[in-house]
Amino acid sequence: MTKSRLETGLKVRKTVLGEAHVAKAQQATTDFDQPFQDLITEAAWGTVWARDNWSQRERSMVTIALLAGLGHLDECAMHVRAAENGGASREDIREAMLHVAIYAGVPAANSAIKVIKEVFAKIDQERAENEQ
């Protein structure tokens, strides 16, 4: 059962975060954090993200809102970048930040919005460079 969830998790993780991100994370993994990487791949990606009840878009929105509300801005930025892979729009992310402001606090939303705007600017710059 564990091997199956680990394999499923790796597949889902690559779908959501992208092949390059996952490859980079795997290359940076050491003996020290290998058990942690296996845990998040199996539990988060192979169990929760692999469920059929919500779409990847819905999971992205909830994840972004939770990470923003908890102040985990690096992880929030990573999931904002990945949200397009699951069909989330910038408008979806804006709506999530409005919820964060009301339910987790304006300072949490304000900090996350600053980071999200930086992520959007980087994405736009990368797209412009790729079109040249």
Domain residue extents for the chain = 1-53, 54-132
Alpha helices in the chain (DSSP H): 2-17, 19-28, 34-39, 56-70, 73-83, 90-103, 106-131
Predicted TM-score (pTM) of the model is 0.90
Arithmetic mean of pLDDT, 48-66:
96
Question: For 76-108, how does the pLDDT look when each residue is reduced to its tens digit (9 = 90+)?
Answer: 999 999 998 889 999 999 999 999 999 999 999
Identify which of 78, 55, 58, 57 has the alpha carbon closest to the alpha carbon of residue 67. 78
pLDDT at 43 exceeding the cut of 50: yes
Architecture per CATH, domain 54-132, reads as: Up-down Bundle (1.20)
